[in-house]
Structure 1
Amino acid sequence: MTVMAVSLHFWLLAQETVPTAENLEALFKEVTWRSLLQALLTVAIAYGLLTAIQSFTTAISEKVPRRFRLVIKQSVPFLKALVLLVAIARLLHLFVNPTGSNLLALTGTIAVALGFAFKDYVSSIIAGIVTLFEGSFRMGDRVRIGDHYGEVVNYGLREVRLRTPSDDTVTIPHNTLWNEPISNANSGQLEAQIVTDFYIAHAANVELVSDLLYQAAYSSRYTQLKLPVTVIILEKPWATQLKLKAYPMDARDEFIYKTDLVLRVKQACARHHVPYPQVGWPNADEASGASSE
């Protein structure tokens, strides 16, 4: 509906100036070999700059101090948009007489054509622009869009790309974001809260295990000590559940950090002979469901 409304708006504005066979010469400049070569050169330079921006910022962001990595990556969509705007303006200057009526007529005609023929593609572009300025997520953020979770590694004209924990690349069209919920783990920050679940038997010393969880978090080399560490205790029919909430210094270390915490807690519990819930408990199905919360 948005694309159709925009197309109709431009079409109505351009009704009096839509180009016809009689005034095409007034609308377009004469096409020469020189202008064609300049257009090809403009497209080639724009493509090269877009590729260079992506490659250069990715390489530089991995070499600078960690606190600057996301700042560099977050500049990529804006730099790409600037290159595209300059390239489009240059192409229009080469082939179109830049008068107000001509630009209005051309814009209206293109809007109508795109609105009917490429409405999904145009919708993705518009959604990408809106999302870029709304700041729902940025390059380097760890987000969940629908059923997909991963790090934002590319923000293109039509789609966003996520790298999942299994190292797959998921391409999501921007227009999907109109209706899909977006969960952002770090919102432009290096740190993202990590929640690790532990389960012990009802007979275990809960205070002791809680202290062990705090010790494991504060002794891990991945923990960002400037941010709070919290232990939440929940009582289940089949066990006592403890949630350890802490922040790694880099959100990229999410799964390495969780592994480190689990190893430390398991070793500490073994030294203190902490009992675990018995295998084969009648509510085992509930246990598997709770672990996915």
Structure 2
Amino acid sequence: MSAINYQFYLLAQSAGDAAKETAEQTREIVSKITTGKIAQGVFILLAAYLTLKILDKLVLWLSERIAKEWRLRVKQFLPFLRMIVLTTATVVLMNLFLNLSKENILAVTGTVAVALGFAFKDFASSIIAGIVGLFESPYGVGDRIKIGEHYGEVVSYGLRSVQIQTPNDNIVTIPHNKIWTEALSNSNAGALEAQVVTEFYFAHEIDVNLVRKILYRVAQTSKYTALKLPIAVVMTEKPWGSSFKLKAYPLDARDEFIYQTDLTVRAKCAFAKHKLSYPRMFDVENKNIS
């Protein structure tokens, strides 16, 4: 046998030995797959899916039928319950199809980590951010948040993403990894109330003290106002007129836009009675209102 042929023989033998070793390792990690195990696996997946659906409906149903101050606290349990169900299902499936010795667990963990790192980088990043979010709590179910250009109430907290319901009743799904790169604004952070800012504009010659009294009174007498929280009227001067911001809290953050409408309608009725003048159209069109 020539030297070249002998080298090829050694290479082929090495490749064959490596393939045999890989096959042996695979057989050691993966247990014997039978029809019964497949049926059990399908049953576990269906059970986990149904459990998640039941949990979602049960927790949301319960949160809407208890005292308002407990509604958001009950909803906060939903992400943790979902994570427990998913983790349990994953562990049971791994025990069913894998021989989970100490060495095999390390091998599977390393393989999965490499696969996720290269093939599912964004997916893995979203899951990690979701798990971190459970403990840091930048938002939870029931919170009113803004991520990027999207604003609304958090209605679902999944392992990979969060779903918010916008004021236009659209459901927007946002991956958790957006918290790494996007600014996040949370209006109520688990509280039932969230501040609502209502803006009003007037000409320079109006009675400033009268406007402040009217706005304060309008907020104080609204049936939606949480009177235990502060009411503030803030004024700034603009080239085109005077800008007023009425800052107050509704009893329930869900009433944000109904509350804002109630304040605006009742305030405008009071302004009309006192014949308070608004900025002239020429000034508004040629100046930037901010």
Q: TM-score if structure 2 supplies the norm length? A: 0.90
Query: Deviations 1:144-172 (Å, cap 9, x if unpaired)?
Result: 10011111111112111111111111111
Deviation at 1:208, TM superposition (A): 0.8
CA distance in 2, matches of 1:108, 1:170: 34
1:33 alignment counterpart: 35
| One-letter amino acid matched to 1:260 | D
1:284 alignment counterpart: 285
Count, aligned residues? 270
Instruction: Kindly indicate whether residue 95 of structure 2 is the aligned counterpart of residue 93 of structure 1.
Output: yes
Query: Deviations 1:30-89 (Å, cap 9, x if unpaired)?
Result: 222222222111111100011111122222222222111111111111000000111111
Deviation at 1:95, TM superposition (A): 1.5
Task: Pick the aligned partner of 1:20 from 19, 22, 32.
Answer: 22
Task: Pick the aligned partner of 1:147 from 143, 146, 149.
Answer: 149
Q: Secondary structure at the match of 1:22?
A: helix
| One-letter amino acid matched to 2:267 | V
Task: Pick the aligned partner of 1:275 from 274, 277, 280.
Answer: 277
The structure with higher relative contact order (CA 8 Å, sep 6+) is 1
Q: Secondary structure at the match of 2:141?
A: coil
**How much identity, in percent, do the aligned residues show?**
50
Does the C-alpha gap of structure 1 residues 172 and 94 become closer, same or farther in structure 2, counting only changes over 3 Å? same
CA distance in 2, matches of 1:203, 1:29: 84
CA distance in 1, matches of 2:45, 2:27: 24
| One-letter amino acid matched to 1:33 | T
CA contact (8 A) 2:239 2:287 kept: no
Q: Secondary structure at the match of 1:280?
A: helix
| One-letter amino acid matched to 1:40 | V
| One-letter amino acid matched to 1:197 | E
1:239 alignment counterpart: 241
- How do residues 122-161 of structure 1 correspond to structure 2 at under 5 angstroms? 122-161=124-163
CA distance in 1, matches of 2:29, 2:84: 26
| One-letter amino acid matched to 1:248 | P
CA distance in 2, matches of 1:88, 1:286: 60
1:11 alignment counterpart: none
Q: Secondary structure at the match of 2:146?
A: strand
| One-letter amino acid matched to 1:137 | Y
| One-letter amino acid matched to 2:215 | L
| One-letter amino acid matched to 2:179 | L
Deviation at 1:285, TM superposition (A): 4.3
Gapped regions of structure 2 (runs ≥ 5): 1-20
Task: Pick the aligned partner of 1:78 from 64, 77, 80.
Answer: 80
Deviation at 1:286, TM superposition (A): 3.0
Instruction: Kindly indicate whether residue 114 of structure 2 is the aligned counterpart of residue 112 of structure 1.
Output: yes
Q: Secondary structure at the match of 2:233?
A: strand
Deviation at 1:236, TM superposition (A): 1.1
| One-letter amino acid matched to 1:284 | E
CA distance in 2, matches of 1:265, 1:251: 21
Larger Rg computed on CA atoms: 2
Query: Deviations 1:109-133 (Å, cap 9, x if unpaired)?
Result: 1211222111111111111111222
CA distance in 2, matches of 1:214, 1:267: 14
CA distance in 1, matches of 2:116, 2:130: 17
Q: Secondary structure at the match of 1:166?
A: coil
1:257 alignment counterpart: 259
1:175 alignment counterpart: 177
Q: Secondary structure at the match of 2:36?
A: helix
